[in-house]
Amino acid sequence: MLKININNEIERLLQYGVQKKLIDKLDIAFTRNRILEVLGLKEFSKVEVKEEVLESPTEILELILDWALENGEIEKNTVTYRDLFDAKIMGCLMARPSEIIKKFNETALGEGIEVATKNYYKMSMDSNYIRMDRIEKNKHWYSPTEYGDLEITINLSKPEKDPMAIAAAKNMKSSSYPKCFLCKENEGYSGRVNHPARQNHRIIPLTLTNENWFLQYSPYVYYNEHSIIFLGEHKPMKISKISFERLLEFVEKFPHYFIGSNADLPIVGGSILSHDHFQGGNHKFAMEKAEIEEEITFSNYPNVEGGIVKWPMSVIRLQSKNREELVNLGDEILKKWRNYSDESLEIFAFTKEEPHNTVTPIARKRGDLFELDIVLRNNRTSEEHPLGIFHPHSDVHNIKKENIGLIEVMGLAVLPGRLKEELKLLGNALLEENYKELVMADQRIEKHLEWGEKIIIKYKNLDPSNIDKTIEIEVGEVFSKVLEDAGVYKRDEKGKKGFKRFLNKF
């Protein structure tokens, strides 16, 4: 094994920190001593390192982690234990929260909020809080559909479950600090085997509806400046009138960002319903680009323009210069939808006392107009559809069976990592005359047989030069179907009439 000169790697990391402006040259000795403490070292021999420009600290960190493992500073050689340790090292290069907040606010005031968020995002990547080396492994493409170019991502960035960490977590004393992965107390937290380390994590405070909220970036970004905006207190998600107020106040302060909320019910909601939060960012999704296919007027709201969006899910788009009118109309739509049933379309607001209707709201600025998209959702299940009536149906589970959250609603499919291998294997099989036998003989892809047969019928001239692109296009078509399944009002005449019946309530 190659002997690692730990002094050399420490100096390389300090050079990286100066280049990325995580530290100043005046901070070098102080930061070096902090790193030595983390590594359990009392001595240091000065070394000269060649000047280099690195986009990421990953290469240096991997060598430091290997040294730490060899010298007993890391308990086990798994992703979990290595991640806990490298966050601790990168934390040594981070400024105090107050300094980062001050710099963010000064930049926002002097150069504008767009520059401030861009710099904050860069810092979050440079500090290795956002692990770009992993995110770049994701497979991403656009797929043309009748609803525009949908985005497809195969998620390869999140590390696999660590069996050693799972076993260790079972023997750990339960902890309620921080209460969840979103709580503000995560900032600077050292982590444990069942909770990520966040020494290299910093959050930005903001005020929404006179309450303390915070901005951070997702450590596993799916699009540019993928942000999470979360309440300072650990309170469960609940969509109400104040949610619309917060969304529209946010886009007034951050006009280059969209912001949206997952629905607040299981099946149609997000993964963390226990802590009130939104997601936002600097990205244009296909739904934002989708046109109004039928205009709607609201007699009590003369300053609001509305319409049904040409989209596979059921989306009401509202626009106005008047924030207050948008909030009030959004609230009226939400309240009526919460209690609305249409038996002919299997839409029931309640099963006994259990509520089923909610919305996925999204806000943005479009020029000088405030824009609010309200996506109608229902989480009822049935014997035929035990995972959800308005959820991906069984015929598309080979591609997507997970919940349809905010990001998917807007037109970005987050697909499981298994598909990278499966799609390649399927493509190879479809090029052979005996493709049915080949697919059925492979447990990894037998679930795709029916879909594969449809591809064979649809495309007569498949060959090695076009098979990969063909499958990518067809994944987009399946994702369209996934979103149509999640739509409460289908795109047929019966569904369109049902949608209008609801809108006639206003």
User: What's the pTM value of the predicted model, to 2 decimals?
Assistant: 0.94
Nearest Cα to Cα of residue 196 among 186, 204, 205: 186
Asked if 118 and 112 touch (Cβ cutoff 8 Å), the reply is no
For 110-135, b/e burial (b = at least 16 CB within 10 A) is eeebbebbbbbbebbbbbbbbbbebb
Tell me which of 169-183, 418-432, 444-458 is least confident.
Answer: 169-183
Angstrom distance (rounded) from CA 440 to CA 318: 49
- Note the pLDDT tens digit of each residue in 212-248: 999 999 999 999 999 999 999 999 999 999 999 999 9
Q: How far is CA 422 from CA 99, 398, 438, in A?
A: 47, 10, 13
- Note the pLDDT tens digit of each residue in 449-490: 999 999 999 998 999 999 999 999 999 999 999 999 999 999
Phi/psi at 213 (5° precision):
-120, 170
Output DSSP code: residue 110: H
Asked if 162 and 53 touch (Cβ cutoff 8 Å), the reply is no
Only one residue has tokens 């009138």, namely: 241
Is residue 204 over pLDDT 60? yes
Asked if 13 and 60 touch (Cβ cutoff 8 Å), the reply is yes
Q: How far is CA 105 from CA 114, 231, 242, in A?
A: 12, 19, 25
Amino acid (1-letter code) at residue 427: G
Mean pLDDT of 74-101: 96
Nearest Cα to Cα of residue 398 among 419, 414, 417: 419
Q: Can you tell me whether residue 44 is helix, strand or coil?
A: coil
Q: Which helix (H) or strand (E) is 236 found in, with range? A: none
Asked if 40 and 73 touch (Cβ cutoff 8 Å), the reply is yes
